[in-house]
Amino acid sequence: MTWQRNRAPAAGMLIFATVAWGALFEIAKGTLHTLDAFWLSAWRYVPGGLLMLGLLRIVEGRRALSLDGFGLRLFVFGALGFAGFSILVFLGIARSRPEHAAMYWSPAQMLAHLTVNGASLRDGDLFGSGTISGPTRETRGSLLELTWNGTEPLTLEDGTTRGFLEDGDTVTMTAWAPGPGGARIGLGEVSGTIRPAR
């Protein structure tokens, strides 16, 4: 068969794979409240793997299922690669607040946006997403969103409220990243004080 004769089925399979992969994250967000990441991965890969083996047997014949002594290696690397990745993704979706799935751009796209405009990036550079906001009230990120454009002021520890930053307010940001053995790597501190307009 030629590529011309297979173009429509191939395009259909590509579209199906794309939609199925993207839908996975939306399904996982709702499912992970009741199902552990391990079992969600098992339900995803075991039936899918058996289906693919059946299709391979039908299309390619018995010879396609011959392992030639690589069975254990295929099982270990396949399980680590696919199921391991899936479990880590599902654990991330279940635990992150706000959910990273709410991001408009992926890290790869943000990196491309930086470098295509001439930013000089090197190994070891710190790369951050900025504020991540979600669709629900508890996942709002920036002060503007947290106060809903000043209409829902925040109550601070000293009892005062803020809808927006005011003259004399000091904002301090700190951050850390996970290090080896459960250690924390401090990323320093930055502070700024709002001064009256001149």
What predicted TM-score, i.e. pTM, was given to this entire model? 0.44
pLDDT of residue 5: 61
pLDDT tens-digit readout, 57-84: 888 888 877 778 777 887 777 777 777 7
- In this predicted model, which residue has the larger pLDDT, 188 or 135? 188
Which one of 71-75, 79-83, 93-97, 193-197 scores highest in mean pLDDT? 193-197
- Cis before residue 98, ω within 30 degrees of 0? yes
Condensed to tens digits (0 to 9), the pLDDT of residues 14-35 reads 777 666 665 666 666 666 666 6
- pLDDT by residue (tens digit) across 36-54? 767 767 777 778 778 888 8
Can you tell me whether residue 25 is helix, strand or coil? Answer: helix
- For residue 183, what are its two tokens? 């250690």
- Cα–Cα distance, 173 to 114 (Å, whole number): 23
At residue 151, the pLDDT reads: 93
What does the domain layout of the chain look like in residue ranges?
3-95, 167-198
Check residue 27 and give its pLDDT: 64
Tokens of 186: 């401090």
Q: Which two tokens stand for residue 110?
A: 């943000």
Q: Which of 46, 80, 49, 77 is nearest to 65 (CA)?
A: 49
Strands annotated E in 77-158: 154-155
**pLDDT for the residue numbered 25:** 63
pLDDT in tens, 131-186: 777 777 777 888 888 899 999 999 988 999 999 999 999 999 888 877 888 888 88
Q: For the residues 108-131, what does the mean pLDDT come to?
A: 81
Q: Which of 86-90, 113-117, 185-189, 194-198 has the lowest mean pLDDT?
A: 86-90
Residue 132 contacts residue 105 (beta carbons within 8 Å) = no
The answer to whether 161 and 154 are in contact (CB under 8 A) is yes
Residue 192 or 117, more confident: 192
| pLDDT, mean of residues 1-10 | 63
